[in-house]
Amino acid sequence: WLPIVWAASIVTRARKEGRIRDDFAVKTIIDEINTFRGKCGLLLNYDSISVPLVYTQVVTLATYSFFITSVLGRQWLDINEGNLKSRKNPIDYYFPVLTTLQFFFYMGWLKVAESLINPF
């Protein structure tokens, strides 16, 4: 891989010019460059494995169904015996701020995850 070879040649040239004092330091730097090369190879392995479509569909369905149930489930109702029979509950002007923030965070997280499947 050309950038790794380029970095190794810079290290050997720095040793010849006297910018690096001993061979142990050169060996340590070259070992770190090789460790970086190995981790880049591991990253390429993750790139070749694609996420199955069913996983993305399940996560999308779970996220949307969670928020539909949370909007319905987190409503505040004042039900007592008098109002239950007449069905005339007063209008509640409560706005679910935390549920809205949770919605935006989870939907943003879902959209980022969908874009990471195919970033190009």
35-92 pLDDT per residue, tens: 999 998 888 877 777 777 788 888 889 999 998 888 888 777 666 655 555 566 666 6
Which residue shows structure tokens 């004042």? 78
For position 114, what pLDDT does the model report?
82
Using a pLDDT cut of 90, give the percent of the chain over it: 33
Name the average pLDDT for the chain. Answer: 83
Residue 96 has pLDDT above 90, yes or no: no
- 89, two tokens: 């509950």
Percent helix, percent strand, percent coil in the chain, to nearest 5: 75, 0, 25
- 16, two tokens: 């010849």
